[in-house]
């Protein structure tokens, strides 16, 4: 039932599209005492609080639910991630890249065809992650641009639970599984990184280069100022 609600609402708050939301009974639950998917919508913390206080009317929530923000735009509203520290660790299917920003300000963790698909950059006090996941058809599934996370709502299911983002193309078909650790880095346990005619697949135990038929696991690159993993 929750998936049905997420799909109907475009995987975000129906008012503003934020990927961080709660399931909310549009009509007070104490009056209905039932869980019907059609009566439940997605609201972010702000819009949930506004509704609870009466600053956002039920009628406006119902209207937003009928025409959710993300369904109108095709993408989620951007959500800003927060990273900090003097090092960053990127884990990709049992392979790890550790970077020290005292050595250089840019950490290219995964590079495909010369393009950094996973990159951390230190600008002043800010630690910024950029990451792209494109599907086999070349369509953008997820984009994080300098910490600003945005996903296409074309995927079958998208869920941000705790610090983990999971994007599915169908039942048992995970397109991306990413865990964000703001003080440490990012862990990708599943993902498809397509770039040109290259496709790198990340599975929990390995990283697989489909073009060259190369499988890589348990590799560690530490303190490398250039590219960590390049294909
Ligand atoms: Zn909202």
Q: What distance in angstroms lies between residue 39's CA and the mean position of ligand 1's atoms?
A: 17
Ligand 1 centroid – CA 18 distance (Å)? 6
Q: Report the alpha-carbon distance of residue 98 to residue 38 in Å, rounded.
A: 46
**Structure confidence at residue 33 (pLDDT):** 66
Output the CA 42–ligand 1 centroid distance in Å. 8
Question: Is the domain of 94 the same as that of 67?
Answer: no
Last residue of a domain, one of 73, 94, 122: 73
Q: Among all chains, which residue has been given the structure tokens 């929750």?
A: 2
Counting the structural domains of the chain, the total is 2
CB 211 within 8 A of CB 199: yes
* 21-to-11, 30, 48, 166, 183 alpha-carbon distances in Å: 9, 21, 9, 15, 23
Ligand 1 centroid from CA 138, angstroms: 30
Looking at the fold, whether 184 and 220 belong to one and the same domain comes out as yes
Task: Tell whether 136 and 86 lie within a shared domain.
Answer: yes
pLDDT of residue 128: 96
3-class DSSP state of 60:
helix
Measured in Å, residue 50 CA sits from the centre of ligand 1 at: 10
- Distance from the alpha carbon of residue 13 to the mean position of ligand 1, in angstroms: 5
Q: Which domain holds residue 51?
A: 2-73
Q: With beta carbons less than 8 A apart as the criterion, state whether 221 and 229 touch.
A: yes
Q: Are residues 222 and 164 in the same domain?
A: yes
Q: Measuring CA to CA, which residue among 16, 9, 198, 6 is closest to residue 117?
A: 198
Q: Which of 23, 43, 73 is the last residue of a domain?
A: 73
**pLDDT at position 30:** 61
* Cβ-Cβ contacts under 8 Å for 117 (sequence gap 6 or more): 110, 111, 131, 132, 133, 193, 195, 200
Clarify whether residues 94 and 180 are in a common domain. yes
Instruction: Encode pLDDT of 66-80 as tens digits.
Output: 999 999 999 999 999
**Residue 209 CB neighbours (<10 A):** 16
The span from the CA of 36 to the CA of 2, in Å, is 10
Distance 97 CA to ligand 1 centre (A): 36
* 223 and 133 assigned to the same domain: yes
The pTM (predicted TM-score) of the whole model is 0.90
Domain end position, chosen among 73, 88, 120: 73
Considering the domain architecture, whether residues 50 and 83 belong to the same structural domain is answered as no
- Whether residues 26 and 56 fall in one domain: yes
Q: From the CA of 167, how far away is ligand 1's center (Å)? A: 21
pLDDT for the residue numbered 32: 64
Residues of the chain with pLDDT under 50: none
């Amino acid at each position: 039932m929750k998936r049905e609600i997420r799909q109907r609402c475009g995987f975000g708050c129906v008012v503003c599209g934020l990927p961080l939301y709660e399931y909310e009974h549009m009509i007070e639950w104490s009056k209905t005492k039932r869980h019907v998917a059609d009566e439940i919508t997605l609201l972010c913390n702000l819009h949930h609080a506004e509704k609870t206080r009466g600053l956002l009317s039920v009628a406006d929530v119902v209207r937003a639910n009928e025409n959710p923000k993300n369904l109108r735009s095709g993408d989620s509203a951007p959500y800003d991630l927060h990273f900090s520290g003097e090092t960053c660790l990127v884990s990709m299917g049992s392979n790890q890249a550790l970077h020290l920003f005292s050595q250089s300000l840019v950490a290219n963790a995964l590079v495909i065809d010369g393009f950094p698909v996973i990159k951390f950059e230190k600008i002043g006090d800010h630690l910024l992650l950029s990451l792209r996941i494109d599907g086999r058809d070349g369509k953008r599934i997820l984009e994080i641009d300098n910490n600003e996370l945005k996903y296409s709502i074309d995927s079958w299911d998208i869920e941000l639970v705790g610090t983990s983002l999971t994007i599915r193309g169908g039942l048992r078909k995970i397109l991306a599984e990413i865990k964000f650790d703001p003080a440490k880095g990012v862990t990708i346990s599943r993902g498809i990184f397509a770039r040109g005619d290259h496709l790198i697949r990340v599975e929990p135990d390995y990283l697989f280069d489909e073009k060259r038929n190369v499988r890589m696991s348990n590799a560690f690159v530490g303190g490398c100022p250039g590219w960590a993993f390049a294909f």
